[in-house]
Chains A and B, each alone.
Chain A
Amino acid sequence: NAGVTQTPKFRVLKTGQSMTLLCAQDMNHEYMYWYRQDPGMGLRLIHYSVGEGTTAKGEVPDGYNVSRLKKQNFLLGLESAAPSQTSVYFCASTATSSYNEQFFGPGTRLTVL
């Protein structure tokens, strides 16, 4: 099993460009999450999904959109990238609820110039 994978690993964008980050998991997990990691701050939740076809906002959702068309995939979109979105993005999944451990992907390092 690959676990949780993220594509791409690195990306550099110019301000105003758009992109989509892909997260895939092969553990048949219901819940999936997108976090961002910035220096001096804990992992902050951007959006999450509790099942196929459902999404919800987390702590810092502005400037991002998500979709969960298939159970195994969770996409994070940046409509118009800003330098403030320079960060490392982590995807995670868990079986059924926040009482279960989360499994994290390897991260995507995004730089917005």
Chain B
Amino acid sequence: ILNVEQSPQSLHVQEGDSTNFTCSFPSSNFYALHWYRWETAKSPEALFVMTLNGDEKKKGRISATLNTKEGYSYLYIKGSQPEDSATYLCAPVSGANNLFFGTGTRLTVIP
């Protein structure tokens, strides 16, 4: 079992604002880190899978960075839009090759 912490638990931002949130995980025995976006009444959808220290990935206005030495990853959303409203989950991969999901950051973008 991995101790995964995501912060903040929830946040509200105005449309057009940029925002970021954090995923913290054990830095020892790191294998990979997943980010998922989960809209209400839908299923989680993968955003990124990150494996290397210093990795940066980008998909449209969403980007993520990874620091495996200190055990954290940031997810950034530039110019938030109402359709970005969702819960964002991170999940490091354990030694048993499974994912351990955090409880997520619930983002609400106010038009």
Chain A interface (Cβ < 8 Å from any Cβ of B): 4, 33, 35, 40-45, 48, 58-59, 90, 97-107
Chain B interface (Cβ < 8 Å from any Cβ of A): 1, 4, 31-32, 34, 36, 42-46, 49, 51, 89, 91, 93, 97-104
Contact A40 B103 (CB under 8 A): yes
Contact A107 B104 (CB under 8 A): no
Q: How far is the CA of A42 from the CA of B89 in the complex (A)?
A: 8
Q: How far is the CA of A40 from the CA of B9 in the complex (A)?
A: 10
9 further contact pairs, Cβ within 8 A, besides A42-B102, A44-B101, A99-B31: A43-B99, A59-B100, A90-B44, A98-B93, A98-B97, A98-B98, A102-B46, A104-B43, A104-B45
Give chain B nearest CB distance to A49 CB in angstroms: 12
Contact B103 A41 (CB under 8 A): yes
Q: How far is the CA of A41 from the CA of B100 in the complex (A)?
A: 11
Contact A42 B46 (CB under 8 A): no
Q: How far is the CA of A41 from the CA of B9 in the complex (A)?
A: 11
Closest to A3 in B: B43
Chain B facing A: main interface SS = loop
| Cβ 8 A contact of B32, one of A44, A98, A107 | A98
Q: How far is the CA of A67 from the CA of B100 in the complex (A)?
A: 22
Contact B98 A45 (CB under 8 A): yes
B93 contact set on A, CB distance < 8 A: 98-99
Closest to A31 in B: B97
B36 contact set on A, CB distance < 8 A: 102
Q: Which 8 A-B pairs have the closest CB atoms?
A: A101-B46, A42-B101, A104-B43, A43-B101, A98-B93, A98-B97, A42-B103, A104-B44
